[in-house]
Chains A and B, each alone.
Chain A
Amino acid sequence: MHNRNRQVGIFLALAVAVGVAIFQSPTRQHAHSSHDVVLVTHDSFVMSKELVADFEKTSGLKLTLIKAGDAGSLTNRLVLTKDAPIADAVFGIDNTFAGLAMSHKLIDGDLTPTDFGDACFNYDKAWFKNHQLQAPTTIAELALPQYRGLTVVENPNTSSTGLAFLAASVDKFGEAGWHKYWQSLKDNGIKVVDGWETAYYTEFSGSSGHGNYPIVLSYASSPADEIDAQGHSLTASILDGCFRQTEYAGVLLKAQNPENARTLINFLVSKKFQETFPTAMYMYPIDTSVPLPDSWTANTQLAAHTFGDKLDINTNRKMWLTQWSAIFE
């Protein structure tokens, strides 16, 4: 009998330990009070300390920021956690994933557009000058032999920028032609990396990373960040085959503090925050009345015509990605 008591004792002790640990912990990762607001964003979101302080002061709320990967990972993660959302509001779902977010009913109400930008190729001006080569002007030219092994793109499976360009290529070359186009890019030695930051900061020769590839899939606004002492940009955009990416914010369904989330989203579309999009995130403010920085007006322009943003990305994404992967693996 002694032995039995001992075992019952061990069992009870373990059960109590686990129980206490589970139920003493906050039921949420952030012990929410009515003065809290949690914003989940993609990895590229930047909000200066001054702006955070400004928001907290004017609203009387305490802001917590969570980063959850690129736009795709962010949206998928919100789908997987929609029963008990990890935040009150989301920023950074773009038009390649907005359909997914809406079909899974992630958002309370509508998505609010906050900013936009054109995903397109950039090239390193100095590299082409040194090699006495004319830089390409269309995306079709990237498959030409003189540009062999010069281009780095993001994997559309793991990068929303990559997915945006895949959609643009489908639009430009058609369902019948885009496979052939990508096959020719592959045959021409295109390099595929997992994300925008690796492509731009590690592989691209025109950025601070001084990589080996003079052509990179980035944004029409990126040249504004590569300015020399004279105020001239060291890089330029190829304004063909661009995808207009629009980013959205929204209140998450079942959020603990939906009212606070609305207050925060109103702040994101206010002039004060909109002004910071170009310098902090290299995106155009959705509010066109907000003036752009001088470096932007001098060195960047949007594409006259964009591709792919009108396609039904949500329906076709999986098929495109499977077919794209079949070419590259």
Chain B
Amino acid sequence: MNKNKPLAWAAPLVFVGVLFYWPLGRVLAQGLGGDWLATISNVRTAHVVWFTVWQALISSALSVLLALPVAQILHCRTFWGNRSARAIITLPFILPTIVVGIAFTPFYGLPTITRIVIAHVFMNVGIAVRIIGSVWQRIDTSVEEAAALDGASQIRVFVSVTLPQLKVAIASASALVFLYCASSFGVIMVLGDLHTHTLETEIYISATQFLDLPRTTGLSLIQTALTAGAFITAYKYSRGSLSLSENFDTQQQTPIQKRDRIPAFATILIFCTLIFWPLARIVAKAFTFNGTLSLSNFMNLTGYGARETLSITLMQATLNSLRNLTIATSLALAIGTYASYLLSRQRLNESSRLPVAFLDTIFQIPVGTSAVVLGFGYLITFSSGFMPLRSSWIATALVQALLAIPLVIRVVYPAFVAIDIHVHEAAAIDAARTEDVVRWIEYPLIRRSLLTAAAFAALVSLGEFGSTSFLAYGDQATLPLVLFQLISHPGPQNYGMAMATSFLLLITAFVIVYSVSANTQSRQTPTYRANSDPQT
């Protein structure tokens, strides 16, 4: 089947090639044509780059560190409320970044930079928990138990037995969180208070306020190099240990018990201080008007806000968002899963390690690329010519799909990789056809990941803000855009409407995440043993 590779890769490569690399290339080419180096060679740019890097490093390190105890408790232990807890910790990740920013503005005692880092950890700890937890729960616990029986301490067991097996998950979680923090936009705009800039906000200001294309594109070059470099480093680090568990068994969740008290206590603490408090604040504000308990904020949602702030009502914006979500999720899931499948096949071919790294990188780069730059690229690439996409609503959905594809791959690819190579060999010996292997072996094993990926893709679409603000105008505005309009136009009515909208988004997101986890929960028992042999 290896002979078919070039053709198999055509569909996903054409998709990202035409819809991502072409507009990005146009932006960069336009900038390189000018004296872009001169426009970015200054102290200000150096400050911006330095801040972007170190805040992302601290934010990702903290996110992953805090995610470890939470991942163990939520993914490897059973207790009442586990499912809800998993759904709740994922919520901040999918909230519109602008809302996260608002939620952390009242930490007045804390300096700007601390608030930005806390907001980033708040947003990203959930994704780190997901990635690490989904691997952790598949780890065979018998070695840990044996080590414990031999008298190894809990910490010793964790460090020498568990941690090495989590290395890949930790690396990929760190890389992803770093990329998100390095390309954070909404949070910086709100909390940065005009004095603290990352590359992303600097790019935005250069593009929209100054129309300074050379500087915009010069900054975009740095941003792309930074995130691509981060990804490749993380990938190289994780490549050596890509083989996950040799025996695949998802039934590793044990009831919570006394020896879990340290991670359990850490989890409770993280939930109460980092997660619950800001979320509860949004809920409280949504139901408060003029200092009293009230539903006024929700009643106001049928209108256009104080001083006619909005172009369309919230209902119309919701319909726009749902339409974009449907298209973006379907595309991202189809292309992301297909690419993951091809990547995992490619990986089995020992002689072609480099292409895997290369191809993987091609699909991952969109995640770290400034959404603002991508939106800008669409403006200059698809405004006219033979693909006048920009003036159509589909442009928004396509960008959202592109931004979700890397996430789908990060969730689905490890699941493909985790499938034991011996299964494939056994199937090959049994002369199983490729589609039978996919249908009977792989699909049941990756179904949980597919649902997770679909949920994440949907939520990326729902919350996407940077490129949408470039591409969706007037009656095409999406929920985050309407939310931003409300928040940036002050007054108790607009603020209350923004909080009510955030509350509704929060509930929607919770329902999506919860139903996905409920679905996988009931089908948790792997069907692989029963169906592994397609001949039966």
Which residues of A come within 8 Å of B, CB atoms?
A: 2-4, 6-8, 10-11, 14-15, 17-18, 21-22, 25-30, 38, 40, 43-44, 46, 64-69, 72-73, 76-77, 79-81, 83-84, 86-87, 100, 155, 157-158, 192-195, 197-198, 201-202, 208-209, 318, 321, 328-329
Interface string of B379-397 (1 = CB under 8 A from A): 1100110011111111001
Cα distance A259–B310 in the bound complex, in angstroms:
27
A-B CB contacts (within 8 Å), total count: 144
A228 → chain B, closest Cβ, in Å?
20
Apart from A22-B392, A76-B211, A194-B194: 11 A-B pairs, beta carbons within 8 A: A2-B433, A8-B7, A14-B338, A21-B394, A26-B393, A29-B474, A30-B474, A66-B474, A81-B379, A208-B491, A328-B195
B431 → chain A, closest Cβ, in Å?
13
Evaluate contact between A197 and B489: CB separation under 8 angstroms: yes
Task: Choose among A18, A29, A79 the residue that contacts B393 (Cβ–Cβ < 8 A).
Answer: A29
**B134, CB-defined interface residue at 8 Å:** no
Evaluate contact between B7 and A4: CB separation under 8 angstroms: yes
Given A25-B394, A80-B379, A157-B205, decide whether A4 and B474 contact each other with a Cβ distance below 8 A.
no
Interface string of B196-225 (1 = CB under 8 A from A): 000000000101111110000000000000
Task: Choose among B309, B393, B473 the residue that contacts A66 (Cβ–Cβ < 8 A).
Answer: B473
Please provide the chain B residues from 292 to 328 with a CB less than 8 Å away from any CB of chain A in the complex. 307-311, 327
Evaluate contact between A27 and B388: CB separation under 8 angstroms: yes
> Contacts of A25 on B, CB cut-off 8 Å?
392-394
Given A157-B205, A195-B488, decide whether A64 and B475 contact each other with a Cβ distance below 8 A.
yes
**B435, CB-defined interface residue at 8 Å:** yes
Please provide the chain B residues from 356 to 396 with a CB less than 8 Å away from any CB of chain A in the complex. 376, 379-380, 383-384, 387-394
Nearest chain A residue, comparing its CB with the CB of B435 = A6
Evaluate contact between A209 and B307: CB separation under 8 angstroms: no
B307 → chain A, closest Cβ, in Å?
7
Q: How many residues of B contact A (CB 8 A)?
A: 56
Evaluate contact between B474 and A198: CB separation under 8 angstroms: no
Task: Choose among B207, B388, B435, B490 the residue that contacts A201 (Cβ–Cβ < 8 A).
Answer: B490
Nearest chain B residue, comparing its CB with the CB of A163 = B209
**B508, CB-defined interface residue at 8 Å:** no
Task: Choose among B1, B338, B388, B475 the residue that contacts A10 (Cβ–Cβ < 8 A).
Answer: B338
Given A155-B194, A198-B490, decide whether A11 and B433 contact each other with a Cβ distance below 8 A.
no
Task: Choose among B327, B380, B388, B491 the residue that contacts A80 (Cβ–Cβ < 8 A).
Answer: B380
Which of B11, B309, B435 gathers most chain A CB within 10 Å? B11
> Contacts of A79 on B, CB cut-off 8 Å?
211
Evaluate contact between B474 and A64: CB separation under 8 angstroms: yes
Evaluate contact between B1 and A3: CB separation under 8 angstroms: yes
Nearest chain A residue, comparing its CB with the CB of B334 = A14
> Contacts of A27 on B, CB cut-off 8 Å?
388, 391-392
Cα distance A34–B7 in the bound complex, in angstroms:
46
Given A3-B1, A77-B208, A157-B209, decide whether A26 and B392 contact each other with a Cβ distance below 8 A.
yes
B211 → chain A, closest Cβ, in Å?
5
**B84, CB-defined interface residue at 8 Å:** no
Nearest chain B residue, comparing its CB with the CB of A47 = B308
Cα distance A40–B475 in the bound complex, in angstroms:
11
A320 → chain B, closest Cβ, in Å?
11
Nearest chain B residue, comparing its CB with the CB of A68 = B473
Cα distance A69–B205 in the bound complex, in angstroms:
13
> Contacts of A328 on B, CB cut-off 8 Å?
194-195
Cα distance A329–B435 in the bound complex, in angstroms:
60
Please provide the chain B residues from 467 to 507 with a CB less than 8 Å away from any CB of chain A in the complex. 470, 473-476, 485, 488-491
Nearest chain B residue, comparing its CB with the CB of A15 = B11
Which of A4, A80, A87, A193 gathers most chain B CB within 10 Å? A80
Given A6-B434, A209-B490, decide whether A80 and B331 contact each other with a Cβ distance below 8 A.
no
Nearest chain A residue, comparing its CB with the CB of B389 = A22
A241 → chain B, closest Cβ, in Å?
22
> Contacts of B308 on A, CB cut-off 8 Å?
46
B533 → chain A, closest Cβ, in Å?
20
> Contacts of B393 on A, CB cut-off 8 Å?
25-26, 29
Cα distance A192–B15 in the bound complex, in angstroms:
44
> Contacts of A68 on B, CB cut-off 8 Å?
473-474
Cα distance A72–B194 in the bound complex, in angstroms:
17
Nearest chain B residue, comparing its CB with the CB of A73 = B208
**B236, CB-defined interface residue at 8 Å:** no
Nearest chain A residue, comparing its CB with the CB of B323 = A25
Interface string of B322-348 (1 = CB under 8 A from A): 000001001100110010000000000
A88 → chain B, closest Cβ, in Å?
12
A sample of 13 inter-chain contacts (CB < 8 A) reads A6-B434, A11-B8, A14-B11, A14-B334, A30-B474, A40-B473, A64-B474, A66-B475, A73-B208, A86-B391, A158-B209, A208-B491, A329-B44
B427 → chain A, closest Cβ, in Å?
14
> Contacts of A321 on B, CB cut-off 8 Å?
209-210
Nearest chain A residue, comparing its CB with the CB of B307 = A46
Evaluate contact between B488 and A29: CB separation under 8 angstroms: no
Given A80-B380, A201-B491, A318-B212, decide whether A28 and B391 contact each other with a Cβ distance below 8 A.
yes
> Contacts of B210 on A, CB cut-off 8 Å?
318, 321
Given A3-B1, A81-B379, decide whether A86 and B194 contact each other with a Cβ distance below 8 A.
no
A153 → chain B, closest Cβ, in Å?
12
> Contacts of B309 on A, CB cut-off 8 Å?
43
Task: Choose among B7, B194, B392, B476 the residue that contacts A7 (Cβ–Cβ < 8 A).
Answer: B7
**B522, CB-defined interface residue at 8 Å:** no
Nearest chain A residue, comparing its CB with the CB of B385 = A83
B170 → chain A, closest Cβ, in Å?
33
Cα distance A29–B211 in the bound complex, in angstroms:
24
> Contacts of A158 on B, CB cut-off 8 Å?
194, 205, 209
Which of A2, A11, A15, A64 gathers most chain B CB within 10 Å? A11
A204 → chain B, closest Cβ, in Å?
10
> Contacts of B490 on A, CB cut-off 8 Å?
197-198, 201-202, 209
Cα distance A275–B308 in the bound complex, in angstroms:
18
Evaluate contact between B4 and A22: CB separation under 8 angstroms: no
Nearest chain A residue, comparing its CB with the CB of B376 = A80
Evaluate contact between B331 and A86: CB separation under 8 angstroms: no
Evaluate contact between B489 and A86: CB separation under 8 angstroms: no
Task: Choose among B15, B205, B434 the residue that contacts A3 (Cβ–Cβ < 8 A).
Answer: B434
Cα distance A29–B316 in the bound complex, in angstroms:
14
Cα distance A209–B306 in the bound complex, in angstroms:
13
Evaluate contact between A84 and B390: CB separation under 8 angstroms: yes
Cα distance A6–B470 in the bound complex, in angstroms:
38
> Contacts of B473 on A, CB cut-off 8 Å?
29, 40, 66, 68, 86
B452 → chain A, closest Cβ, in Å?
22
Nearest chain A residue, comparing its CB with the CB of B10 = A11
